[in-house]
Amino acid sequence: AQTVTQSQPEMSVQEAETVTLSCTYDTSESDYYLFWYKQPPSRQMILVIRQEAYKQQNATENRFSVNFQKAAKSFSLKISDSQLGDAAMYFCAYIDYGGSQGNLIFGKGTKLSVKP
Amino acid sequence: NAGVTQTPKFRVLKTGQSMTLLCAQDMNHEYMYWYRQDPGMGLRLIHYSVGEGTTAKGEVPDGYNVSRLKKQNFLLGLESAAPSQTSVYFCASSYSTEQFFGPGTRLTVL
């Protein structure tokens, strides 16, 4: 079965600095998608970035970028120039249309704090 | 365009009571999902639907039932609420890989 592991329950970063959140996953599928979702205190789930497994190029969205290592099954999120509004829970998620049957599988999340 | 909405936003039940959570989407998405979020557990899939009139079990379906009578609505029912069902419930919809989430419902069962 597919699993997603986030080994850092909590992380902290100074405002304007860079932080990297870790995520590893396990799958036997070759075609899948990976996501990072942000959940601020408002509870709303917000898609931050997505990566297609068949693409070698790492996805980037403004200050957010990923380091996708397919062979290592690693998918880390880098936040550059951290802002106070980045403080939130961050969830790594996986989906495929084989074993997971098109269902998102989430990690347990990393709580990010941003210090002014 | 409201996206995904959930009703109610908060609810307190006594053990054994029943209730229905309503999820509505106005994006004409085929796929809809119900998740629960517990502290330290991330989101776990309860039930999902790949189209009007169809439903399927997810990872944690016990104690819940669902119905998808209309494409835009996905109902989650608790027939006899238990304290273990205290959680935050999220609905989501999608047309491809990206899922769009509702604001969540906080349910407390006493």
d(CA B31, CA B33): 7
Taking contacts as CB-CB distances below 8 angstroms, the residues of chain B near A104 are 33, 43, 45, 92, 99
Region class of A62: left (phi > 0), else alpha (psi between -120 and 50), else beta: left
Q: Say if the Cβ atoms of B103 and A104 lie within 8 Å.
A: no
> Which of B40, B42, B103 is facing A44, going by the closest CB pair?
B103
Taking contacts as CB-CB distances below 8 angstroms, the residues of chain A near B90 are 45
Q: Which residues, listed in sequence order, are joined to residue B42 by a DSSP beta bridge? A: B38
What pLDDT is attached to residue A97? 78
> Which of B41, B45, B104 is facing A108, going by the closest CB pair?
B41
Segment B66-80, tens digit of pLDDT: 999 999 999 999 999
Cis before B8? omega within 30? yes
Q: Which of B31, B5, B6 is nearest to B99 (CA)?
A: B31
d(CA A77, CA A37): 10
> Which of A35, A43, A103 is facing B45, going by the closest CB pair?
A103
**Confidence grade of residue B40 (pLDDT, cut at 50, 70, 90):** confident
Averaged over B35-59, what is the pLDDT?
92
Cβ atoms < 10 Å from Cβ of A54: 10
Segment A32-71, tens digit of pLDDT: 999 999 999 999 999 999 999 999 899 999 999 999 999 9
